[in-house]
Every structure is written in structure tokens, then in C-alpha cells.
Amino acid sequence: MRIALNLKGMPYTAVPVHLVKDGGQHCSAAYRARNPQALVPAFELEDGTVLTQSLAIMEYLDEVQPEPALLPADAIGRARVRALAQAIACDLHPVNNLRVLQYVSQQLGISAEQKDAWYRHWVATGLQGLKALLADHPSTGRFCHGDTPTLADCCLVPQLYNARRFQCPLDAYPTIQRIAAACETLPAFQQAAPEVQPDAD
Ligand SMILES: N[C@@H](CCC(=O)N[C@@H](CS)C(=O)NCC(=O)O)C(=O)O
């Protein structure tokens, strides 16, 4: 979501919500009042309306500020970009989310090694699918779809950041790495990186 806001040059105030401190600040009553799912992000508009779910928020941003577009002009292109974004946000990310990792560790008692193996397995499964969707597709360009960043790139880069954090092997995905590297040359992506946020550890 930060990437999308930066790409569009839309000003915002970031309110840090630490996922570990205080037992997870996203689980507090105050945060749940914003997002009852106890997941970040929650995006509050000036009139107090709160939007949740990154994909829904990014599509909202694209509707209220269409330029630069995060979705292609053609219906088939939009379907492809949404499919790529959802392959990450709906299929890959949820099984590796913090609450899932905490559950398998704490409730099911798996070891740290098994937890990392779980993480790497689902990253590999997700990236193999994504690789096949991207490699040699005529619409894959400098970015996931064409030569400007889309919703798909906004999902890809944070996921790869997490994969690197967990030392997932990435050599098998040269196209994905090339696209991420192209994104990471852009200030919108650089300024959204976790390590440059005010609450970075
Ligand atoms: N589908 C949601 C997922 C949100 C989500 O899972 N956010 C993570 C951080 S990236 C989170 O809040 N995790 C807290 C937890 O797992 O307890 C979205 O795209 O907004």
C-alpha cells in the first residue's frame, strides 16, 4: 500500500503498528476498532472511513487518483495484473503470515527449523507458479506487466523482501529477481522499504 501511495505521489501519515511489541499492537482493542480482522494495513481517509485489505485499498487509490495507473487500460491486461497480484496476496502470503507461523510454532509445537521449512516451502510453491506466469509471457516487460509498475509489482516486492529475510533460495527465479531489481531502482519502492520506516527496528 505504501508503494502505491508513493507511486501516485499521494501524501499520507504513517501510524506504526508493531506486530510483535506489546503482544502485537494490531491485536489491541484500539486497532481492532479500525480493522476487526487485526491485520495491517488499515487505511483511514480524512472523513474517518477506514479501508482494509491491501488490494482493495490499492484499487481504491487507483480509482480516486487514476494516474499513474496501477492497472492496465485493457480488460485482459487488468485480469492478468489482478491474477498476478492475487497469486501473491491471496495464495502465497496468507500461509506464511505471522499468525500462521505463530500458530504452527506455539500451538502445534513445531521447531524453528520446521517453521522455516514451512515458510520456504510455501514461498517456493508461490514463486514457481509466479515464475511460470511471468516467464516468456508477451506482456511481461521491465515490470510484471509492461514497462510501468502495476498492482502486481506492489505485491511482488514486499513478498520478495520477506523471502530474503527468511533466506529463501531465489536463484531459480531470474525473471522475478530482475523485475524486483527494476522496481527497487524507483524511489516509490525505496521509500516504502521496511528498513526506512520510522518504526524500523
Ligand atoms: N489480505 C490482507 C493481509 C494483511 C496481513 O496479513 N498483514 C500482515 C502484515 S503483512 C499482518 O497484519 N499480520 C499480523 C498477523 O499475522 O498476526 C491484506 O492484503 O491486507
CATH of the domain at 93: 1.20.1050.10
Average pLDDT for residues 151-175, to the nearest whole number?
97
Residues 52 and 104 in one domain: no
For residue 90, the ligand 1 atom closest to its alpha carbon is 1
Span from the CA of 27 to the centroid of ligand 1 (angstroms) = 12
- Top mutation candidate among 21, 59, 60, 97 for ligand 1, by most atoms within 8 Å of CB: 97
Domain assignment present for residue 198? The answer is no
Number of domains in the chain: 2
* Proportion of the chain above pLDDT 70, given as a percent: 100
Residues 85 and 160 in one domain: yes
Is residue 59 scored above 80 in pLDDT?
yes
Per residue in 77-98, pLDDT (tens digit) is: 999 999 999 999 999 999 999 9
Residues 12 and 93 in one domain: no
Domain assignment present for residue 132? The answer is yes
Range of the domain at 169: 75-190
Residue 198 pLDDT class (50, 70, 90 cuts)? confident
Residues with CB under 6 A from ligand 1: 19, 24, 26, 39-41, 53-55, 89, 97-99
Write down the pLDDT at residue 197: 87
Do 130 and 170 touch, CB atoms closer than 8 A? no
Span from the CA of 40 to the centroid of ligand 1 (angstroms) = 5
Residues 127 and 170 in one domain: yes
**What is the model's pTM?**
0.97
Domain assignment present for residue 201? The answer is no
Residues 35 and 84 in one domain: no
Domain assignment present for residue 62? The answer is yes
Amino acid at site 98: L
Span from the CA of 39 to the centroid of ligand 1 (angstroms) = 4
Which amino acid residue places its CA nearest to atom 2 of ligand 1? 53
Residues 63 and 82 in one domain: no
Higher pLDDT, 168 or 201: 168
Residues 91 and 55 in one domain: no
For residue 55, the ligand 1 atom closest to its alpha carbon is 19
Residues 11 and 47 in one domain: yes
**Domain end: 67, 87, 103, which one?**
67
Average pLDDT for residues 133-145, to the nearest whole number?
97
